[in-house]
């Protein structure tokens, strides 16, 4: 009987403990800027003094000294696409990194003359671990002298106009696995194939890289990946590096953190604080009221 009376207070203690655990545990989602695990970007953030934004409406009004990284695993709406276009034409550098997401939606909206193929790039000879980790050593400006780039389940680009400069190509042993059989077939395009390209747009430019994984923590220190990424985001000198976090897939922990952030914001108001204090006081003193 006594244990039942303490149940509300015990429940509150458990809920508060779980909330604190979720709040302080690092994000685990792919390409999250505060994720310190293998699939996060903490190493890249620290090396390049990068900052994350949760809405493209927060882009700087004067983007002339900024680089925006977009990894579009979620479709972009019209306002997001418009914000990206304005950022680029006013002098910003857009680094769009994609393999099997929605990168072509952005490139098409901008009128760029390159697209992501969305087919798996493989190299059975010149690779880092196996055929799904191709290496690329055919590099052009601004990546001269950075060393090989190690890719991770990458795709490739198609280039349709002369205004695009291909800056990274896969090796001659590579191919696109168009039929998904993990082996070279008669109809599979053979290397060298474009992996990264550059195109001037307005006062800015767009750089398309067919593998966002080259900047995650587990790949950043491989071969010349870190140096190459630094060159791309600081194309013409030191730049403010911004990473869009609003078009990434969400892990369950990310959703839980979002709920807690909303609750925290609500509790920070005068009315919210009063309601929270009242709730806690009620639950903790309920056993005393029942006893009396």
Separation between Cα atoms, residue 140 and residue 197, nearest integer Å: 10
Residue-level pLDDT at 23: 46
The residues with which 204 forms a beta bridge, in sequence order, are 201
DSSP character string of 101-164 = SSHHHHHHHHT-SEEE--SEEE-SSSBSSSTTSBEE-EE-TTSTTS--EE-SS---EEE-STTE
Residue-level pLDDT at 249: 83
Count CB-CB contacts under 10 A for residue 279: 11
Q: Where are the alpha helices (DSSP H) in the chain?
A: 2-5, 7-24, 42-48, 78-89, 103-110, 217-220, 225-233, 252-267, 270-291
What's the number of CA atoms in the CB half-sphere (13 Å) around residue 154? 36
Domains in the chain, CATH or no CATH each:
2-25+252-291 (no CATH), 42-244 (3.40.50)
Residue-level pLDDT at 236: 85
Residue that the structure tokens 């680029």 belong to: 88
Count CB-CB contacts under 10 A for residue 135: 21
H helix or E strand, kind and range, residue 52? strand 51-53
- Closest C-alpha to 135, from 40, 222, 216: 222
Separation between Cα atoms, residue 9 and residue 16, nearest integer Å: 11
Can you say whether the dihedral through the CA atoms of 192, 195, 196, 199 is positive or negative?
positive
Kindly give the confidence (pLDDT) of every residue in the chain, 292 residues in length, as a single tens digit, with 9 standing for 90 and above: 455 555 555 655 555 555 454 444 567 889 999 999 999 999 999 999 999 999 999 999 999 999 999 999 999 999 999 999 999 999 999 999 999 999 999 999 999 999 999 999 999 999 999 999 999 999 999 999 999 999 999 999 999 989 999 999 999 999 999 999 999 999 999 999 999 999 999 999 999 999 999 999 999 999 999 999 999 999 888 899 999 999 998 766 566 555 555 555 655 666 656 665 666 666 566 555 555 5
What is the per-residue burial (b if ≥16 Cβ within 10 Å, else e) of 24-59? eeebbbbbbbebeeebbbbbbbebbebebbeebeeb
Residue-level pLDDT at 161: 86
pTM of the model: 0.83
């Amino acid at each position: 009987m006594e244990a039942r009376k303490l149940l509300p207070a015990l429940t509150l203690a458990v809920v508060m403990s779980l909330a604190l655990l979720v709040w302080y545990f690092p994000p685990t989602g792919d390409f999250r800027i505060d994720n310190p695990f293998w699939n996060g970007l903490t190493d890249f953030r620290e090396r390049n003094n990068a900052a994350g934004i949760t809405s493209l409406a927060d882009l700087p009004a004067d983007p002339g000294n900024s680089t925006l990284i977009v990894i579009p695993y979620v479709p972009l709406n019209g306002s997001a696409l418009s914000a990206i276009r304005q950022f680029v034409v006013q002098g910003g550098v857009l680094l769009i990194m994609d393999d099997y997401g929605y990168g072509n939606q952005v490139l098409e909206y901008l009128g760029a003359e390159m697209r992501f193929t969305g087919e798996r790039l493989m190299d059975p000879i010149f690779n880092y671990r196996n055929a799904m980790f191709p290496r690329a050593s055919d590099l052009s400006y601004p990546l001269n002298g950075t060393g090989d780039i190690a890719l991770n389940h990458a795709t490739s680009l198609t280039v349709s106009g002369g205004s695009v400069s291909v800056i990274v190509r896969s090796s001659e042993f590579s191919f696109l696995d168009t039929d998904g059989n993990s082996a070279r077939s008669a109809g599979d395009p053979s290397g060298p194939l474009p992996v990264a390209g550059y195109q001037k747009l307005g006062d800015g430019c767009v750089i398309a890289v067919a593998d966002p994984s080259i900047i995650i923590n587990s790949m950043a220190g491989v071969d010349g990946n870190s140096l190459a990424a630094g060159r791309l985001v600081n194309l013409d000198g030191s730049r403010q590096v911004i990473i869009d976090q609003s078009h990434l897939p969400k892990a369950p922990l990310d959703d839980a953190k979002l709920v807690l952030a909303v609750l925290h914001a609500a509790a920070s108001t005068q009315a919210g604080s009063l309601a929270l204090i009242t709730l806690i006081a009620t639950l903790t003193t309920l056993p005393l009221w029942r006893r009396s």
